[in-house]
């Protein structure tokens, strides 16, 4: 019996996900520049040529991985109806961030390594910059609503604190409850 269009689409999504998982593991453990398309294809158990049916380039692939990871952390903010975080939503954001870190350490290892590589960071930042700007705006409005004297400084401090905790968790998870 021939496959339906829905079955083909499901198979395509499964293969795309398998490629992204293989690439994530390789990028995080071997580095972006040390990982070839051939190596990713072997790890995903597909041909190198088939890779290009799913991603135009290695840059396209790392950007897709990055966007997927960022969306898991920020997608719940879209349900915020009034566009301003309240204390419960802020707490949810912090908890979501830590749960995402704990559940996806390989992704976050890649994320932090990207931050330290200006060329790659600039490449992926073009695609996720708006997500970050929207999140920063939510934080600014939250801190303004809380009566903080310098909301921008507080938002930047919060971001640095979250990054620092994330890096320390990845380096020494046993030190965290």
The answer to whether residues 123 and 98 belong to one domain is yes
The answer to whether residues 146 and 162 belong to one domain is yes
The answer to whether residues 40 and 24 belong to one domain is yes
Confidence bin at 119 (pLDDT 50/70/90): confident
The answer to whether residues 119 and 157 belong to one domain is yes
78 vs 21 pLDDT, higher one: 21
Write down the pLDDT at residue 80.
56
Supply the range of the domain harboring residue 69.
62-175
The answer to whether residues 68 and 39 belong to one domain is no
Which CATH number goes with the domain that contains 39? 1.10.10.60
User: How many percent of the chain have pLDDT more than 90?
Assistant: 50
Write down the pLDDT at residue 154.
95
Using alpha carbons only, give the angle 76, 78, 84 rounded to the nearest 5 degrees: 100
Write down the pLDDT at residue 27.
94
The answer to whether residues 123 and 154 belong to one domain is yes
Mean pLDDT of all residues in the chain? Answer: 87
Report which DSSP code applies to 173.
G
The answer to whether residues 40 and 67 belong to one domain is no
The answer to whether residues 13 and 87 belong to one domain is no
The answer to whether residues 67 and 49 belong to one domain is no
Averaged pLDDT, 34-46: 95
- Please give the Cα distance from 174 to 5 (Å, whole number): 47
Nearest to 86 by CA among 139, 135, 152, 137: 139
The answer to whether residues 49 and 67 belong to one domain is no
pLDDT in tens, 41-67: 999 999 999 999 999 999 899 989 988
The answer to whether residues 66 and 49 belong to one domain is no
pLDDT at 129 over 80: no
pTM of the model: 0.79
Give the gyration radius of the chain's Cα atoms. Answer: 19
Q: Residues 34, 52, 111, 175: what is their CA dihedral angle, to the nearest 10 degrees?
A: -80
- Coil vs helix vs strand at 124: helix
Q: How many domains does the chain have?
A: 2
How many Cα atoms are found within 13 Å in the side-chain-facing hemisphere of 147? 0
Using CA atoms, how far residue 9 sits from 12, 13, 30, 56, in Å, is: 5, 6, 31, 18
């Amino acid at each position: 019996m021939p496959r339906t269009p829905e079955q083909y689409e499901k198979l395509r999504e499964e293969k795309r996900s398998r490629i992204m998982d293989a690439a994530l593991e390789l990028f995080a453990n071997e580095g972006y520049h040390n990982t070839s398309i051939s190596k990713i294809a072997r790890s995903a158990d597909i041909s190198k040529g088939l890779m290009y049916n799913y991603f135009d380039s290695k840059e396209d692939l790392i950007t897709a991985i990055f966007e997927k990871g960022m969306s898991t952390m920020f997608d719940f903010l879209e349900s915020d109806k009034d566009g301003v975080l309240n204390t419960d939503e802020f707490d949810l954001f912090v908890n979501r961030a830590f749960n995402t870190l704990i559940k996806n350490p390989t992704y976050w290892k890649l994320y932090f390594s990207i931050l330290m590589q200006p060329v790659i960071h600039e490449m992926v930042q073009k695609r996720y910059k708006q997500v970050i700007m929207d999140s920063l705006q939510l934080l600014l409005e939250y801190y303004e609503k809380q009566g903080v004297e310098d909301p921008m400084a507080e938002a930047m401090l919060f971001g640095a604190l979250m990054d620092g905790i994330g890096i320390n968790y990845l380096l020494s998870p046993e030190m965290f409850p």
